Structure 1
Amino acid sequence: MEATPIIELRGASKYFGSVIALEDISMGVRAGEVMCLLGDNGAGKSTLIKILSGVHRPDRGTVLVEGEEVDFASPRDAIDRGIATVYQDLAMIPLMGISRNFFLGREPTKGRGPFRRFDVKFADRVTREELDKIGIKVRDTSQPVATLSGGERQSVAIARAIYFGAKVLILDEPTSALGVKQASIVLRYIARAREQGIAVIFISHNVYHAYAIGDRFTVLNHGRSEGTFEKGEISIQELEKLMAGGAELERLEAELQGTGASGPGASTDEAGV
């Protein structure tokens, strides 16, 4: 019997006036699995993750957490159920220290009353331990987070979410602005999160990054699902074709081939003059 998804959408639709952002989308992710949500710009990926993270409510359909129907009124409701979203901007302050960023909004304190203050030693120790786990060595946890590479910053944001009890990690294009080496840092840490039993939703338009780490793939196209596929039943080329709108590309190719003879560079003989 298949395990119950940690988070699941059933028949979810979202409209903004006459614009169909999502139409009848069903998908879910289980513990210890990486579900890749793929699609080109405007496919509906951002709207879907905003529903899962409590920013939007679906106009139709349901959201379930561990088999229980939920109605997230705000992102805080999703966070309280262990749904953590790491956006592209990472919600970090570049000139602030690494440990300060790690505990941003959840600062550990010591002392009482007017003597209450940020517990620097505790924050530094925990930050160093958590970064060590993912293979990031820092000399000084008070150094600005801007001094880290893009891949390291992404990994710090993921480590922070896991430390604070995430059951589901929703990662919004975490490798989009990274080179191969930096992207590999992030993908390795996603693999470690999976090994810890965390459910991961990896949003991307880079099919190669997704295929390297994904267990299952849901492809969106103009707000509608092209299907959900296990890794063993679809090739990277087939995924790429679905994402790009294969039928549209084939029509365009046929159109260009059909009009090529009379294009701007055609000779008068070719144009029938």
Structure 2
Amino acid sequence: MTATVDQDVEEVPSGGKVPLVELKNVGKMYGNITALKDISLRVHAGEVTGILGDNGAGKSTLIKIIAGYHPPSEGELLVDGQPARLASPKDALAKGIATVYQNLAVVPLMPVWRNFFLGQEIRKKSFPFSLDSNAMRATTLTELSKMGIDLPDVDVPIGSLSGGQRQCVAIARAVFFGARVLILDEPTAALGVKQSGVVLKYISAAKEAGFGVVFITHNPHHAHLVGDHFVLLNRGRQKLDCKYDDITLEHLTQEMAGGDELEALSHELRGKGA
């Protein structure tokens, strides 16, 4: 990946950098149901923030707030240190926040280049209603090459690519259309070991290029491989917030698995088997 993010950002009094995205005591209510409560986190340029949690932990709700689908019910969302109200994903993308969802929102039978520009097609200046297919093919090849994806034929249906390759095409697309913050929704959930490794390499490459990456996952091993900062959600609450140097994989896995609850269950099951 050769694309880079401008690192000349404002310094904060503490000596650190202003986060690309910051949440302060954010909560979300759906009627009488509390989906999130008191969530605070920072997404910095050149870092991967791992958001972990089991099903129902609040990860999807958190994505929707940062991506502009839903406003928070309480708390504050800041972009580049300034309060922001995101009314739609288009608003979020205008501020450099792009989300790559697990289902990728691709059309499997369409060629790679058509999916790359889906909804944002390039049209010929002389014929506004005619697609400039040559320009889109060339751009797709160039942008995938920047990501290190060797795909000589972008006319193949995107459904014929491996899961890892499709994820990387989606990431390259988000970068091309102006993302500085990449929100990746369970990108390795449906992949095998080898393809997961491909995606993790590109997440690491995005970090090295200066992008802020939000890596949503329920896999602590994958998060620990590329993450710089970890936030663990449990039933809409923030259970853990720490940096890579402050936690081991074993501890992260234990916290993710339930810690004391898992140990109690283990004793109970052993007792029944005795």
Q: Which TM-score applies when normalising by structure 1? A: 0.91
| Structure 1, 128-137 or 7-16: larger mean CA deviation | 128-137
Q: Which residue of 1 aligns with 2:3?
A: none
Choose from 105, 108, 112 the match for 1:94: 108
Match of 1:110 among 124, 130, 146: 124
Matched, 1:157 2:191: no
Alignment of 1:1-273 (within 5 A): 1-112=15-126, 116-257=129-270
Note if contact 2:93-2:178 (Cα within 8 Å) is conserved in structure 1. no
> SS of the counterpart of 1:84?
strand
Query: How far apart, CA to CA, are the structure 2 residues paired with 1:57 and 1:89?
Result: 23
Per-residue deviation at 1:257? Answer: 4.7
The Cα of 1:73 is off from its aligned counterpart by: 1.3
Name the stretch that deviates more: 154-163 or 70-79: 70-79
- CA deviation after TM superposition for structure 1 residue 3, in Å: 0.7
1:258 deviation in Å?
Answer: 5.2
Amino acid at match of 1:180: V
Q: Which has the larger radius of gyration?
A: 1
- Structure 1: how far apart are the matches of 2:194 and 2:272? 43
Structure 1 residue 74, shift from structure 2 partner: 1.4
* Counterpart-to-counterpart distance in 2, 1:75 and 1:164: 13
Q: Which one-letter code corresponds to 1:166 in the other structure?
A: A
* Amino acid across the alignment from 2:231: T
Task: In structure 2, give the amino acid aligned to 1:120.
Answer: S
Q: Is the 8 A contact 1:221 1:245 kept in 2?
A: no
From the superposition, tell whether residues 260 and 182 of structure 1 become closer, same or farther in structure 2 (CA, over 3 Å).
closer
For structure 1, the 5+ residue unaligned runs are 262-273
Q: State the superposition RMSD in angstroms.
A: 1.4
Conservation of the 8 A alpha-carbon contact between 2:57 and 2:236: yes
Contact 2:52 2:220 in 1 (8 A): yes
1:14-50: per-residue Cα shift (whole Å, max 9, x none)?
1222322111010011001100000111111110011
